[in-house]
A and B are shown apart, each in its own frame.
Chain A
Amino acid sequence: MKLATHTFDAVIVGGGGAGLRASLEMAASGLKVAVISKVFPTRSHTVSAQGGVNAALGNVDGPDDWRWHMYDTVMGSDFLGDQDAIEYMCKYAPETIYELEHMGLPFSRLDDGKIYQRAFGGQTRDFGGELAHRTCCAADRTGHAMLHTLYQKNIEAKTQFYNEWFAIDLVKAKDGIAGVIAMNIENGEVVFLKSRATILATGGAGRIFQSTTNAHICTGDGFGMALRAGLPLQDMEFWQFHPTGIYGAGVLITEGSRGEGGYLINKDGERYMERYAPHLKDLSCRDVVARSSMMEIREGRGVGPKGEYVLLKLDHLGEDVINKRLPGIRDLAITFAGVDPLKDPIPVVPTCHYIMGGIPTNKFAQVLTLSADGKDQLVEGLYAAGECACVSVHGANRLGANSLLDIVVFGRAAGLHVQQSVREGLSFREPSESDLEAAMARLNRWNTQEQGESVEVIRSELQKVMQEDFGVFRDADAMQKGFKKLEALQQRLKHAAIKDKSLCFNTMRVEALELDNLMETALATAFLANNRTESRGAHARFDYPDRDDKHWLKHSVYFGDGRITYRSINMLPLEVKAIELQAREH
């Protein structure tokens, strides 16, 4: 097989916040770096993030402390987060935010000229005390502002981009990962991008659910690539459902709208979060609020003809706050719900939003697998950062505004570590002919299959199964049924076909390749959700309603062949005492 090879010191798969922060870190290093992205970088999903990014700057309530931020993050994670990584993230948060400000990110401002910070779910002062204002934002367009700023700085740094290129699979070699096979979507050209270091920054996979806040491109490509390369995924049972997706459309209304003083009501107009969580109320952790909304709906206090949603009330905030702090939200509500929040409440429902799990890494973004005797083992030449990685700072439940932080902190960490490794002699790995062929197998199959079911048929059934059987509340009966259906779909997918075989900007081929990844992601979720017989964070089971630290205080690790093992939680921060296991109070 003849395959063109392009050689780089580092190849970053993904042009979202994590990928662009990593490339920027390496720009001045003299390394030869390429970023590949299946969409033009500013169209990456980071652009949709609204509410903000956390850092203990203390601009609003007086001195803040990254240790408080760390405490909140560990509590929010329901103790599944790794404390060394959480420590690293929270400690470097202020520095990382100031860097972004220096790059030009147009943060909203306070009267004294400092960065504006709003309240967000689960953020407290003084280890669980009063609500903290810790979330830095650019109105309700923080992700847009962050992504464009990073892209702009990459233009200045002359980063090399492969835009609208699709990464198909990792290329394995005996001793690690040799690079990635990618296709130019515009003309179908396929090349081997060979690199000393490959960084996966492919983002999330919300499209495994029918109803999601995620963009169409969030299809878990990095997850599929890792599993097919024989690498594991971790904690894939932990999917966050955001309390306020617009009913019907799935489009997100930021938690920042509750941070600014909005609240949820049921059909009787009752502010029900006061009943479920008297302390933080509407700004409790997302898993708590999402479950409370689902309970209201299940118990007949939902709104609408079928009682299928609840309402988010904002009108009491007044025109000034809404137009200044939540202008994008107002537009979205008008466009997608037909409601002007200045006057009427917005119909919302818990909606799939974020995957806490992903490719396991250490805090330098180096990818880990497990050796035969269950020990952590580095995968040579492979890094992962951002939503596709599980470092793990979010554990069983991510706090709002901690993901934009995660992507820049660990994107940067990846960039730093690759430079150091290359300096220390990280070399290339040589794949064999059969390694390359293995990475091409999937593309070849879609290219040659003539007859079969369509991508849409299988994709929509998959999304329906996940929605119905692996949603906010889970139990063994539903999950086992769902699991059977998924297995049947997996078999059918093997014979699915695309009719369009054109080489010219063939988006159908891209969707087919993405469907393989959706399937891998859905299976990983189903295996691990079914396996974890407790409730923790976002994983809530009727049949096992309590957290069970005796058996389940551990990461689940899943390999593509169905094998499940475990890793222990890191409780060893470097500078501070570990936060001890305790019940989460609401």
Chain B
Amino acid sequence: MRFSIYRYNPEKDQKPYMQEYDIDVKKYNCHMVLDALMAIKNFMDETLTFRRSCREGVCGSDGMNMNGKNGLACTTHLSTLKEPIVLRPLPGLPVVRDLIVDMSQFYEQYDKVKPYLQNDKPAPAKERLQSPEERAKLDGLYECILCACCSTACPSFWWNPDKYIGPAGLLQAYRFIVDSRDTATETRLADLADPFSVFRCRGIMNCTDVCPKGLNPAKAISEIKLEMLEHTV
């Protein structure tokens, strides 16, 4: 199987280039894109550099752009991709080396939404009660693995990665806004009310299209906008 992979090591390369690899995916028993990357690294070229950990789509390490679409290498079947398989780092973030991007801006936007439960009432001796219906509102939100596939597919995030929270961060903002146990809804909404944080979303849906966990950040964003209408002056 033929691969064309983005290569760049700032220590020795003037600029990035694409490198071709042919590998016998049968021989190395490769099913997923990650299997193939590991086979290349193990048997052909140990300098090829990428992140990976869980190899089962839960840690969010190996988001990358495969044949033009963002996704996780470890859960993307080779059989679903046309040859040559073109692998590039997630778009829009600075490349550290090969398929590894610098995620700082992505994490900073996440931190900005105060992604932790806030509750100003004293905690009870046991659990805070939450009905199954209230809990169900968190489904489709809490499962985010911070892989950045969505935010790096979002044109608004590419243009304003310092000011626009981006789909991943906003998904988490909404996760706490709708949590029946969180009491900071008002300030959460107020914090997002500037022209950039939320309102740069143009509803293009790229984010939802690529999320490897089947989450829907675009929907969460429109829910936030609705909440803002309901809550603000």
Contacts and interface: CB of A to CB of B under 8 A. Distances in A.
A48 B60 CA distance: 11
Contact of B135 (A97, A106, A456, A504): A106
Contacts of B138: 106
Label chain B's interface by main secondary structure. loop
Interface stretch (B51-59, B158-166, B189-197, B198-206): B51-59
A156 B135 CA distance: 23
B132 A43 contact: no
B132 A45 contact: no
Task: With a 10 A CB-CB cut-off, give which of A42, A108, A110, A217 has the most chain B CB atoms.
Answer: A42
B27 interface: no
B59 A215 contact: yes
A504 B116 contact: no
Interface residues of B, number: 56
A151 to B, nearest CB: 9
Interface string B40-70: 0111001101111111111111000000000
Interface string A121-154: 0000000000000000010010011001100110
A498 B181 contact: no
A153 B117 CA distance: 8
Nearest to A332: B56
Contact of B100 (A47, A328, A455, A505): A505
Contacts of A106: 135, 138, 142, 179
B115 interface: yes
Contact of B61 (A39, A144, A499): A39
A507 B42 CA distance: 12
A115 B127 contact: yes
Given A43-B54, A48-B56, A109 B130 contact: yes
A68 interface: no
B145 A144 contact: yes
Nearest to A218: B53
- Interface size of A as a range: 35 or more
B117 A103 contact: yes
A101 B132 contact: no
B116 A152 contact: yes
A290 B55 CA distance: 23
A498 B130 CA distance: 54
A138 to B, nearest CB: 8
A542 interface: no
A109 B132 contact: yes
A512 B182 CA distance: 45
Nearest to B107: A40
Contacts of B182: 104
Contacts of A138: 142
A215 B131 contact: no
B4 interface: no
Contacts of A503: 11
Given A101-B127, A504-B11, A45 B117 contact: no
B126 A251 contact: no
A498 B46 CA distance: 8
B67 to A, nearest CB: 18
A155 B116 contact: yes
A215 B132 contact: no
A566 to B, nearest CB: 36
B1 interface: no
Contact of A145 (B9, B41, B61, B142): B142
B97 A505 contact: yes
B49 to A, nearest CB: 5
B111 interface: yes
B52 A148 contact: no
Contact of B116 (A156, A331, A502): A156
A155 B57 CA distance: 24
B146 interface: yes
A112 interface: yes
B75 interface: yes
B116 A153 contact: yes
Contacts of B116: 103-104, 149, 152-153, 155-156
A47 B59 contact: yes
B195 to A, nearest CB: 25
Nearest to B60: A43
B9 to A, nearest CB: 6
B198 to A, nearest CB: 20
B125 interface: yes
A114 interface: yes
B46 A500 contact: yes
A491 interface: no
Given A144-B145, A498-B46, A39 B100 contact: no
A40 B121 CA distance: 32
A380 B51 CA distance: 36
A156 B114 contact: yes
B120 to A, nearest CB: 12
Given A109-B132, A141-B143, A503-B11, A42 B123 contact: no
A111 B123 CA distance: 21
A335 interface: yes
A39 B53 contact: yes
Contacts of A550: none
A454 B46 contact: yes
B49 A505 contact: yes
Interface string A35-61: 000011011110110000000010000
7 contacts: A42-B146, A106-B138, A109-B130, A148-B142, A335-B77, A504-B9, A505-B100
Which 8 A-B residue pairings sit nearest by Cβ, starting from the closest? Answer: A104-B117, A113-B129, A152-B116, A456-B42, A43-B59, A101-B127, A505-B97, A102-B123
Interface of B: 9-12, 31, 41-43, 46-47, 49-61, 75, 77, 96-97, 100, 103, 107, 111, 114-117, 119, 123, 125-132, 134-135, 138, 142-143, 145-146, 176, 179, 181-182
